[in-house]
Amino acid sequence: MRIVVLAGGIGGARFLRGLRSAAPEADVTVIGNTGDDIHLFGLKVCPDLDTVMYTLGGGIDEEQGWGRRDESFRVKSELAAYGVGPEWFGLGDRDFATHVVRTQMLGAGYPLSAVTEALCTRWNPGVRLLPMSDDRVETHVAVTLDGERRVIHFQEYWVRLRASVDAEAVVPVGADEAKPAPGVLQALAEADVILLPPSNPVVSIGTILAVPGIREAVASAAAPVVGLSPIVGGAPVRGMADKVLAAVGVESTAAAVARHYGAGLLDGWLVDTADAASAAEVEAAGIRCLAVPLMMTDTGATAAMARAALALAEEVRA
């Protein structure tokens, strides 16, 4: 079975670990968000691709959900001693090596998709990891700081400001001109099942869908498309997704996120048992909806979520 998953960072990566355990024989292609990418200290950092690669490859800091385990921060403190920042972005020594290798290969002319494949030969994530695009796309957020309207990089909004002010607009800069990376459209066309894991609907999955051709390829694919809600009981399970949902006028409920994707994209949607009462609202929008436990507390619980998503895909395919 060929499964394609559109993934952000932590939510996507943890779900993928469950999916691999639930369907070890499946051929899984991951289309990763690169809108969070940022250039720091002259290096190209791809937070979501790395979170997927490290999580599936066993190198992730489990507690934190991003970055390397057993990490140290000597390079960062040396940079700070030179007065070179930003200090708010946590780049550890082990992690630095990944960005050095990536930047070196990009500088030599390899596209990001080839670089990602090369990095994955070390980590063996057990999936084919494709960036959504080889072209530069960066999510920016419009905010008002000290009475002044400014547009800042998504990482500055998320990591430095911790989404403490409202996001007035979220713009995937460069997406309009970006092309899907090699293999992306073909994987969607040949998929047996397409899954939207509980990733951020705006800045992770929304950004992937903003690359011209990808939304159309998902919507027109022969495969059933099933998503899992990142919103449980009216709030994100983790992080500040409510802030970016508000920026696109979407309420932070499992049903509102399903309606935001819409019946044109989604065939099935899983909500948590805490949100079982909202299934009727999702079904009224033309999307088959079931309530199952959606907390990724361990690989067993996450694998059960993946099995539920695959079962729902079979149901809606029929």
- With CB under 5 to 8 Å by kind, the binding choice for 241 among ligand GDP, Ca ion, none is ligand GDP
Q: Which residues contact 220 (CB under 8 A, 6 or more apart)?
A: none
- Binder among 6, 8, 218, 287 for Ca ion (CB under 5 A): 8
Residues contacting ligand GDP: total by CB under 6 A: 23
| 200 lies in the binding site for ligand GDP (CB under 6 A) | yes
Residue 295: contacted member of ligand GDP, Ca ion, none (CB under 5 to 8 Å, by partner type): ligand GDP
Residue 199 CB, nearest approach to ligand GDP (Å): 3
Residues 37 to 56: which contact Ca ion by CB under 5 A? Answer: 48
Q: How many residues bind Ca ion (CB under 5 A)?
A: 4
Q: Work out what residue 59 binds among ligand GDP, Ca ion, none; the CB cut-off runs from 5 to 8 Å by kind.
A: none
172 near ligand GDP, rule: CB under 6 A: no
Contact with ligand GDP (CB under 6 A): which of 34, 55, 155, 199?
Answer: 199
**302 exposed, middle or buried (CB, 10 Å; 0-12, 13-18, 19+)?**
buried
Q: How do 288-291 and 268-271 pair as beta strands? A: parallel
Residue 239's alpha-carbon distances to 11, 63, 87, in angstroms, are: 10, 14, 20
Do the Cβ atoms of 306 and 19 come closer than 8 Å?
yes
Q: Which is nearer to ligand GDP, 131 or 198 (CB)?
A: 198
Phi/psi for 44 (5° steps) reads -90, 120
SS (H, E, C) 142-163: EEEECCEEEEEEHHHHHHHCCC
Binding residue (CB under 5 A) for Ca ion from 15, 36, 123, 285: 36
Residues 63-102 that bind ligand GDP (CB under 6 A): none
Exactly one of 23, 237, 246, 276 binds ligand GDP (CB under 6 A); which one?
A: 237
Report how far residue 106's alpha carbon sits from residue 102's, in angstroms, rounded to the nearest whole number: 6
Answer whether 7's CB lies under 8 Å from 207's CB: no
Nearest 5°: phi and psi at 305?
Answer: -65, -45
Binding-site ranges for ligand GDP (CB under 6 A): 7-12, 48, 51, 198-200, 204, 229-230, 232, 236-239, 241, 294-296
Binding-site ranges for Ca ion (CB under 5 A): 8-9, 36, 48
